[in-house]
């Protein structure tokens, strides 16, 4: 499991599986001089975890998760919401959005997903840009309710200023809300896209948060205690990985070194490079079970509403 911010993405996403959100958001992880620790957040209450596992068990037994058991590629449409400040800070041009999409597609290729930009919507001088986009706050919920585009059919990705160096991203789990609920989606800090300063220099924060979006937990979920992240081919890991601690074995009683190069750990972007086959299977199965509207043919969304009221007065 990984939280890019967990990388620098606060343990927002998967950490939530074991801790209530309040506990997650209270204090950032400790840092040493010169060290940036980024984590992510899903904010999903632990109650959603057993439901995910029960649904997977039913799918495997009944073979109903067709998308997970075939080689067919899953095409998913993304709507990018680019929020920026009064001086244009945070604005991502089309080339940068394309670079971020290429990173995502490269990461998810082996898992059988392909992401297509359905629309890029820009909100200059947005009141939600700086601090108002965190999705568990009143302001963040209002932002999603106002801006989300057909959440049943598209992954809504919001780029804004979160709380670096501690929180770089936030992703919801697929079973948290009804398919068409605008609270679904991923929020990333604008300084986590490709070309940003290390440790978030390669755009892996969005990869990590999309992992949560399709049902992955952090690789360190549950520490050395089974079932951990519920994925058999990710070795157990006692604590999150930061930096690039290759060769670390924090659960010596279990097979394998810590999966610090997995996208769902908190390691630096330069260190993370893969999902495992069973992580891919899990994402495909949960997409078929909880988000079937996402895996239908990708069409353009309805024309954008006027956003004049979204600017600051």
Structural contact between residues 69 and 63, judged by C-beta atoms closer than 8 angstroms:
yes
Helices (H), 27-128: 48-62, 66-69, 94-108
Question: What is the C-alpha separation between 257 and 252, in angstroms, rounded?
Answer: 8
**Does residue 138 have an active-site annotation?**
no
Question: What is the C-alpha separation between 171 and 2, in angstroms, rounded?
Answer: 11
Q: Which of 53, 89, 179, 209 is catalytic?
A: 209
Structural contact between residues 283 and 216, judged by C-beta atoms closer than 8 angstroms:
yes
Coil, helix or strand at residue 79: strand
Structure tokens at 67: 């998308």
Phi–psi pair at 163, nearest 5 degrees? -145, 50
Structural contact between residues 158 and 167, judged by C-beta atoms closer than 8 angstroms:
no
Phi-psi region of 165 (alpha: psi -120 to 50; beta: other; left: phi over 0): alpha
Segment holding 116, helix H or strand E? strand 113-123
Question: What is the C-alpha separation between 87 and 259, in angstroms, rounded?
Answer: 41
The residues carrying an active-site annotation are 209
């Amino acid at each position: 499991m990984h939280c890019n911010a967990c990388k620098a993405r606060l343990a927002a996403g998967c950490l939530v599986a074991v801790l209530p959100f309040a506990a997650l958001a209270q204090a950032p992880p400790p840092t040493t001089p010169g060290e940036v620790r980024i984590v992510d957040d899903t904010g999903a209450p632990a109650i959603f975890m057993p439901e995910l596992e029960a649904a997977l068990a039913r799918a495997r037994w009944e073979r109903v998760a067709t998308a997970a058991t075939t080689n067919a590629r899953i095409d998913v449409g993304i709507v990018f919401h680019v929020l920026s400040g009064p001086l244009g800070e945070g604005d991502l041009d089309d080339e940068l959005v394309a670079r971020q999409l290429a990173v995502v597609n490269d990461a998810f290729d082996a898992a059988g997903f392909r992401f297509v930009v359905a629309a890029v919507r820009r909100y200059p001088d947005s009141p939600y840009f700086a601090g108002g986009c965190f999705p568990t706050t009143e302001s963040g919920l209002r932002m999603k309710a106002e801006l989300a585009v057909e959440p049943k059919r598209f992954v809504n990705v919001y780029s804004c200023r979160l709380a670096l160096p501690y929180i770089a991203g936030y992703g919801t789990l697929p079973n948290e809300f009804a398919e068409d609920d605008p609270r679904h989606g991923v929020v990333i800090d604008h300084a986590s896209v490709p070309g940003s300063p290390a440790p978030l220099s390669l755009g892996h924060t969005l990869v990590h948060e999309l992992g949560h979006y399709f049902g992955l937990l952090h690789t360190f979920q549950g520490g050395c205690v089974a079932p951990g992240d519920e994925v058999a081919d990710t070795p157990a890991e006692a604590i999150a990985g930061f930096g690039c601690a290759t060769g670390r074995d924090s659960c010596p009683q279990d097979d394998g070194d810590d999966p610090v190069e997995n996208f769902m750990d908190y390691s630096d972007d330069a260190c993370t490079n893969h999902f495992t086959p069973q992580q891919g299977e899990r994402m495909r199965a949960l997409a078929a079970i909880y988000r079937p509207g996402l895996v239908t043919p990708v069409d353009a969304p309805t024309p954008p509403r006027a956003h004049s009221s979204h600017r600051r007065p």
